[in-house]
Amino acid sequence: MQTIQALPKHEVKDLTLATQGFNQINWALQDMPVLASIRNRFKVEQPFKGLRISACGHLTKELAALAITMQAGGADAVVIASNPLSTQDDVAASLVAHYGISTFGFAGETVDTFKHHVEIALNHNPNVIMDDGGDLVAAVLQQKPELGKTLMGSTEETTAGITRLKSLDKQGLLPWPAIGVNESKTKHLFDNRYGTGQSTLDGIFRACNILLSGKTVVVVGYGWCGRGVALRARGMGANVIVCEVDHMKALEAVMEGYRVMPIAEAAPLGDLFITITSNKHAIDAQHFSLMKDQAILCNAGHFNWEYNHDALVEQSVAVTEPRRFVQACKQADGRTLYSLCEGRLVNLIAAEGHPSSVMDMSFSNQALGVEYLVQNYGKLPNNMLTLPYELDYKIAQLKLEGLGIGIDAMTPAMEAYMASWSEGTQ
């Protein structure tokens, strides 16, 4: 490993962390075989040659692997942190020092700093935007709408961002094609379930070191992420209650053996509350007063308002920090409620986010999504789009291969049978 001569523009915490970050990135790379195969192809095919890409995401070792992949494909990339607290400073340093990628973000940055980095990302005049939560896209529309005319498209990682894109799409405001990466099966079936499931508990363990066994855990939101969290919480011995506003999902939760009830009923029962809704104030001010002394709240959704952390702090008579990432919110009635990571993503802030192995698939969707936008520039409608299923499926094939797992192929007779209709009961 050698640092590069001329450093790109950047704002990171400490370049002396670069070596450690370089090792971390390598640690990630070895568990990301699908992205590696894409990167190897990109090196040869140079699909992004001459193109500027602005990427906004959690600045983790896995995002670094994606950035390196885009760079390998010829992109001139600017990478900014999508969250004030989630940046891995060593990784950011290595991106700058070893890979020469313009990187902006550090753990503990203010929202103003974040917004400044968004500006930088826009001023990069990107041909393609890679977004995580929809902030870059919203900023273009709000601050630099002229970019919309030249953008080839954008990709979006999260359910939260896709909600915003769908809203834009519905209102006819989307000026370019946007790939909802989260719509890919190799994204949401894996990252959201197995990634969020594990990393959320990991974040909670690191923040609190509490025993899950025997605890009543209230999972608010039973989308793909929520079911991952519920599954893993149960797998660690917790008794899980699910809150949900969608009857179909709620019914699935019932059938999986979880208790299902409104949050107002769950509030006095829970030892630990985890929000993962893509919505706002799913746990609100009035629910805090119902909770048990020493109840813990945390969030695994994109934005920091899924439970109303601000209201909680406001209605507290004192707020202290007994452990890193833990705010003890003393209530007037003597109870203490604990809020983790100020309501921001517990898995990315108290822990390291999803393991590389599952981000391999998510970020392969990102890479192929951008390539698809570029290859089909001018041909795609200005809507929220999904990556073609054959690309999605290809990622699954490569992943299984990377895991060394073989499966059967249908025989020609099976193929013929599946395409026929005439054979029946005999």
Stretch that binds its own copies, among 71-79, 131-139, 175-183, 365-373 (CB under 8 A): 131-139
Using CA atoms of 26, 28, 29, 34 in order, give the dihedral in degrees to the nearest 10: 180
In the region spanning residues 153 to 212, those forming contacts with its own copies, defined by CB under 8 A, are 163-165, 167-168, 170-171, 173, 185-186, 189-190, 193-195, 197-198, 202, 205-206, 209-212
Q: Where are the beta strands (DSSP E) in 364-414?
A: 384-385
Task: Choose between 4 and 417: whose C-beta lies nearer to its own copies.
Answer: 417
CB of 49 to its own copies, least distance (A): 31
Task: Choose between 6 and 418: whose C-beta lies nearer to its own copies.
Answer: 418
CB of 51 to its own copies, least distance (A): 25
Tokens linked to 61 = 């070792």
| Binding string, residues 15-44; x marks residues near its own copies by CB under 8 A | --------xx-xx--xx-------------
Tokens linked to 387 = 């990556």
| Helices and strands in the chain, H and E counts | 19, 16
Distance of CA 378 to the CA centre of its chain: 29
Stretch that binds its own copies, among 65-73, 100-108, 245-253, 362-370 (CB under 8 A): 245-253
In the region spanning residues 337 to 396, those forming contacts with its own copies, defined by CB under 8 A, are 351-352, 354-358, 392-393, 396
In the region spanning residues 394 to 423, those forming contacts with its own copies, defined by CB under 8 A, are 396-397, 399-400, 403, 405-411, 413-414, 417-423
Quote the CA–CA distance of 20 and 320 in Å, as a whole number: 32
CB of 225 to its own copies, least distance (A): 14
In the region spanning residues 259 to 318, those forming contacts with its own copies, defined by CB under 8 A, are 259-264, 278-282, 294, 303-304
CB of 128 to its own copies, least distance (A): 19
CB 145 within 8 A of CB 120: no
Q: How many Cβ atoms from other residues are within 10 Å of residue 274's Cβ?
A: 32
Quote the CA–CA distance of 244 and 239 in Å, as a whole number: 17
CB of 70 to its own copies, least distance (A): 22
Residues whose CB is less than 8 angstroms from the CB of residue 169 and which lie 6 or more positions away in sequence, other chains included: 178, 383, 384
Handedness of CA 194, 196, 197, 199 (dihedral sign): positive
In the region spanning residues 212 to 241, those forming contacts with its own copies, defined by CB under 8 A, are 212-214, 231-232, 234-240
The one among 99, 104, 114, 363 contacting its own copies by CB under 8 A? 114
Report which DSSP code applies to 8: P
